[in-house]
Amino acid sequence: MAKLVTIFGGAGFLGRYVARRLAKEGWRVRVAVRRPDEAGFVRTYGHTGQVVPWACNIRDDDSVRAALRGAEAAVNCVGTFDRKGRNSFQSIHVDGAARIARICLEEGVRRMVHVSALGASTDGASEYARSKAEGEAAVLRSMPHAVILRPSILFGQEDSFFNRFATMASRGPVLPLIGAGTRFQPVWVDDVAAAAALGATGRAAPGLYELGGPEVMTFRELMDRMLHVVRRRRLVVGLPFWLGGLMGSVFDAGRTLSGGLMPSPVTRDQVESLRTDNVVSLGARGFEDLGIKPTDMDGVLPDYLWRFRPSGQYSTIKESARNLRS
């Protein structure tokens, strides 16, 4: 019988790519999610019964134990941007990660891959970064031979970064940015999934890997790249951090008063995160050590951002027509 891997958050942005890769390698895949009825699409990643959505809440021991029973490997892709509440940084990034690792040890799961974030640090400027570092430490206490991945901002068809700002560009003439000069190293989601698959199958040495794409660019430069792809001219305005912090505080308060119903375009903690560059550390192990050549943005962005162009799918045809000679 094929080996079994449990992927926590396996229907999320990164998790679905990990599930697809491991299914193609012949593994049975258990996709552990809170709402399995909404994760039926993962079944198509393999043959009948190979990839199965599984109800699981990482805040509950019995739920996690049931999801891990019989598994050879586990991958934790669960993350949150909620600072408070039931699914807070503490409950998901720290306690949830610790619970998965501890039960992996108890159930005899041989390998664990834990997805953290670039910039995770016990003395990080943001609570998000500190909670990610605490989660890494908690995992290593139970699974000292775990593979820990720290990716930069992920991009890909379902991303919440380029898609979000491309939507804003299609609706208004101005793109406001907090931390316009902050540097990022965006990484294609499937490259990170490839790294996770290597860890789950035992082909990656245990330890910490920082994963960034081949290009380092400021926030403003990334928006200029996105605008070029979507064929739009917009005014990119950098906002000072003090104003961003004020906006974040207002949105945080609104979300709290509305019981979480009010959307929050930016939180104060995210503003704090933007004060620090999100790039791979000098000398850190990364894609090269895993034998993976990271994919550049130009090879991926046009494949999914075309729908934000003024004429959508017809933009290329119209541009070609303008070049025709009468």
Q: Amino acid letter at 279?
A: V
120 domain-assigned: yes
Q: In this structure, what CATH number is given to the domain that contains residue 104?
A: 3.40.50.720
In a domain, 239, yes or no: no
Question: Per the structure, how many domains does the chain have?
Answer: 1
The mean pLDDT values, 10 residues at a time, for the chain of 326 residues are 92 97 97 96 95 96 97 96 87 97 98 97 93 97 98 97 96 95 98 98 97 97 97 95 92 81 83 94 96 96 96 67 63
pLDDT of residue 324: 67
Decide if 195 contacts 211 (C-beta within 8 A). Answer: yes
Kindly report the pTM of this predicted structure. 0.93
C-beta of residue 51 within 8 angstroms of C-beta of residue 73: no
* Residue 100 within any structural domain of the chain: yes
Question: The tokens 């045809």 sit on which residue?
Answer: 317
Nearest to 119 by CA among 325, 278, 275, 257: 278
Handedness of CA 143, 145, 149, 150 (dihedral sign): positive
Q: Does a structural domain hold residue 231?
A: no
In a domain, 243, yes or no: no
Residue 198 C-beta-side C-alpha neighbours within 13 Å: 21
Decide if 270 is inside a domain: no
| Token output for 22 | 């491991």
CA triple 27-28-31, angle to 5 deg: 120
Q: What angle do CA 123, 113, 266 make, to 5 degrees?
A: 45
Nearest partner of 300 among 195, 186, 183, judged by Cα: 186
pLDDT at 311: 73
Question: Beta 217-218 vs 183-184: how paired, if at all?
Answer: antiparallel
Contact 274, 248 (CB under 8 A): no
The answer to whether residue 104 is domain-embedded is: yes
- Taking the C-alpha atoms of residue 267 and residue 261, their distance in angstroms, rounded to an integer, is 14
Q: Is residue 126 part of a domain?
A: yes
DSSP assignments along 45-114, one per residue: GSSTTTEEEEE--TT-HHHHHHHHTT-SEEEE------SSSTT-HIIIIIIIHHHHHHHHHHHT--EEEE
Range of the domain at 67: 4-156+185-214+278-295
Q: Three-class SS of residue 34?
A: coil
CA 173/CA 237 separation, integer angstroms:
11
- Locate the DSSP E strands across 116-234: 147-151, 154-155, 174-178, 183-184, 187-188, 207-211, 217-218
